[in-house]
Amino acid sequence: MSRINEILEQLDHISQNPKEQLNKFVDAGKKVIGVFPYYVPEELVVACGMVPMGVWGGAREINKAKEYFASYYCTIAQMNLELGLNGTLDKLSGVIVTTMCDTLRPLSQNFRVAVPQIPYIYLAAPQNRKKEFGVKFSEQVFTRVLNELEEIAGHKASEEDLLNAFELYNNNRQEKRRFSKLAGMHPEVISATLRSAVFKSSYFMEKEEHTALLKELNDELEKLEVVEWTGTKVMTSGILCDSRKLLKILDDNKVAIVADDVAQESRTIKVDINMDMAKETPIKALAQWFADCDDDVLLYDPTIYGRPRNVAKLAKESGADGAIVVMMQFCDPEEVEYPDLKKALDEIGMPSIKVGYDQQMVDFGQAETQIQAFTDVMSL
């Protein structure tokens, strides 16, 4: 247990100190590329010999960004622009900004204009990504992104560099999937707060280091005897579920997260890059990886209702007693989908609650009342 605690403490510290990590990389002479949500091919950054670092906003006050956004905008977008405007991101050698939703599109252009000191890479991935023309379009977009990254890095990425990066990320995704299952089996060791920290820390670390620590943690967790959890088991869903105050409420009420449908955690790690294809056509394999990604509210779903049913299936198969939907305020895609998601959960008899959240929240009193009432019902 001592080694488990050491690893968890290290990852928890990193998850709360991204600026410390950024300074460490820069002081070591490494170039760091800020990666905005979602589905950015970080492998290209690594192949160019640079460090990708997640930029998912933060718990702080928004001031300067209010000049560019209405107050009802998603706080991730507002916070990311705020970080650029207040100089927090100035040590980055560049940023990659996506356009996966109607909020990220104006963010991409506002950031380009408002933060000219940081080299900017625009990534417009297709929604109709599965058909041959969609894969080809993604391949062209990723090739352009790679060329711009090579210009920042000052050298070309070889095919071997790309394959090594692909393998590195495949390994990390596999260990994360393994960790998610093991964390659900050992909530007495992996609290909701620590589970979040393990996932979040990966955005601020070099993947090789994170994977090594995660594999060691998983190996140690596998040695533990499974004990009966006397609290409530839940699946979480949403864009973010990383608020320390919200997670503490879960921990205080003996709520264990046994699975998640969270964008910052498990939504993007379900699919690996086909390495056989990558050895033939690396960028096309990366484009195919994106085409194979599914079950995300920000990805076009031709079946319309497939995702809600799959999320409900995940909740049931995980052994969860209920589901907690952490709803980002003013997120139109999540809010539009919610009735169908709740219907799908209701149809399988999975109790659920919706908790409102944004990154400026400091008072979680209402959420605490909801969660306490939810756990009381679950215990009946």
User: Scanning the structure block, which residue is given the tokens 């690893």?
Assistant: 7
Find out whether 350 and 318 touch, Cβ atoms under 8 Å: no
Report whether 189 contacts 224 (CB < 8 A). Answer: yes
DSSP structural state of residue 190: S
In sequence order, what DSSP letters do the residues of 161-186 get, joined into one string? HHHHHHHHHHHHHHHHHHHHHHHHH-
* Residue ranges of domains in the chain, CATH in brackets: 28-156 (3.40.50.11890)
Residue 149 to residue 267: CA distance in whole angstroms: 26
- CA proximity to 64, closest of 91, 77, 51, 82: 82
Q: How many CB atoms lie within 10 A of CB 19?
A: 11
pLDDT tens digit sequence for 139-155: 999 999 999 999 999 99
**pLDDT digit string (tens) for 14-53?**
999 999 999 999 999 999 999 999 999 999 999 999 999 9
What's the confidence (pLDDT) of residue 284? Answer: 98
Residue type, 256: A
Report DSSP letters for 261-304, one per residue: EETTTTTT-S----HHHHHH-HHHHHHHHHHH--S-TTS--TTS
Per-residue pLDDT tens over the stretch 184-211: 999 999 999 999 999 999 999 999 999 9
Cα 107 to Cα 141: distance, rounded to the nearest angstrom:
19
Going by pLDDT thresholds of 50, 70 and 90, the confidence category of residue 230 is very high
Q: How many CB atoms lie within 10 A of CB 158?
A: 11
The pLDDT, as a whole number, for residue 162 is 98
Helix, strand, coil share of the chain (percent; to 5): 55, 10, 35
pTM, to two decimals: 0.95
Give the angle subtended at the CA of 198 by the CAs of 240 and 262, to the nearest 5°.
25
List all residues 6 or more positions away from 308 whose beta carbon is below 8 Å from its beta carbon: 337, 340, 341, 343, 344, 345
Who wins on pLDDT, 104 or 162? 162
Q: Is the pLDDT reported for residue 305 higher than 80?
A: no
**Rounded to the nearest 5°, which phi and psi values hold at 254?**
55, 45
pLDDT value at residue 304? 67
Under 8 Å CB-to-CB from 223, ≥6 apart: which residues? none
CA separation, residue 87 to residues 18, 78, 117, 118 (Å):
14, 14, 10, 10
Backbone angles phi, psi at 121, to 5 degrees: -120, 120
Which of 170, 182, 175 is closest to 201 using CA atoms? Answer: 175
Residue type, 197: A
Q: What is the mean pLDDT of residues 65-84?
A: 90
Answer whether 72's CB lies under 8 Å from 10's CB: no
Average pLDDT over residues 359-374: 84
DSSP string across 296-352: -TTS--TTSSHHHHHHHHHHHHTT-SEEEEEEETT-HHHHHHHHHHHHHHHHTT--E
Q: What is the pLDDT of residues 250-267, one digit of tens each?
A: 999 999 999 999 999 999
Taking 90 as the threshold, does the pLDDT of residue 59 lie above it?
Answer: no
Q: How confident is the model at residue 380 (pLDDT cuts 50, 70, 90)?
A: low
pLDDT at 378 (0 to 100): 76
Distance, in Å, from the CA atom of 327 to the CA atom of 350, rounded to the nearest integer, reads 18
